[in-house]
Amino acid sequence: MHTLLPIYYQIKQTIKNWIINKEFSPGGKIPSENELAGRFGVSRLTVRQAISQLTQEGFLVSRRGEGTFVTENVQLIDSCSFEFRGLIDDFFFAQISEIKTRSVQTERRIAPKLIREKLQLEGPDTEVIQIKRVRYLRDKRFTYSTNYLPLEIGGRIKEKSLYEKSLLQVLGQDLGIQLTEAVQTIEASFADPEVAEHLAIPSGSPILFVERIMYVARQKPIEIFQSAYPGDLYKFIVRYKNVIKKNGSEWIHQSG
């Protein structure tokens, strides 16, 4: 389990995922608090807190003397089927087995001025490799992304490999490039016509826009990743902790 999130919350999310993935059938009885406590290696109180929240959210129903059951509201369960929740580092690095690339377009083109500056490339006619991909989570369009790489790196990437691996895997495993650092920006935005078309959402719909710049040694940028995600698929959590100091206290936060 992740150390930054409360244990009860992690258990709650695990049970919820079991429900969403139909490991616990709608209307079916879930294991007892004792059984779940043993499975997770925690106290019954911790499990009870997780179950209480799931009951409040409508995913579980408690029946006195009988136990706890999964809701029969299939519509509620299915409405969460495509959610992707987690910590920022999970969002950054996770390679989810259900995510499949179904469209790849590779193009050699003149680098736009802003891209040229971010990749520290010289000359207005400098070319880059631009890669555009549409990826699916299960059968739902999950992300539309554009990558920019210097010609000497992007030109070595085989388009076929992008259907089988993430670009990070291609850079590390296939090209032997040792990435050392990344700077990632996440912000709310709206889908322009191109993004809307590829994500099959109305133009102007809310999206989560992510830009990530990857670096090798000596802080040399070698890749820009820009991706748009439907805005209703994500939930990030910020946990605050009150740190006691000699001259008072300070609230610090950890993003998730």
Least confident of 36-45, 82-91, 95-104, 223-232: 82-91
Indicate the DSSP class of residue 24: S
Residue partners of 45: CB distance under 8 A and separation at least 6: none
Task: Specify whether the CB–CB gap between 91 and 82 falls below 8 A.
Answer: no
Q: Which residues fall within 8 angstroms of residue 128, CB to CB, at 6 or more apart?
A: 108, 109, 110, 111, 115, 116, 119, 121, 148, 149, 150, 151, 154
pLDDT of residue 82 exceeding 60: no
At residue 212 the predicted structure's pLDDT band, cuts being 50, 70 and 90, is very high
Range from 143-147, 151-155, 186-190 carrying the lowest mean pLDDT = 186-190
Q: What confidence score (pLDDT) does residue 72 get?
A: 93
Q: Mean pLDDT over all residues of the chain?
A: 85
Query: Is the pTM here over 0.75, yes or no?
Result: no
Cβ–Cβ under 8 Å, residues 91 and 142: no
What φ, ψ does residue 68 adopt, rounded to 5°? -120, 135
Q: Enter the CATH code of domain 84-235.
A: 3.40.1410.10
Q: Is the pLDDT of residue 55 over 50?
A: yes
Q: Does domain 7-79 have CATH number 3.40.50.10470?
A: no
User: Which of the two residues, 69 and 241, has the higher pLDDT score?
Assistant: 69
Confidence band for 3, pLDDT divided at 50, 70 and 90? very low
Q: What are the backbone angles phi and psi of residue 247, rounded to the nearest 5°? A: -100, 20
Sequence spans of domains, the chain:
7-79, 84-235
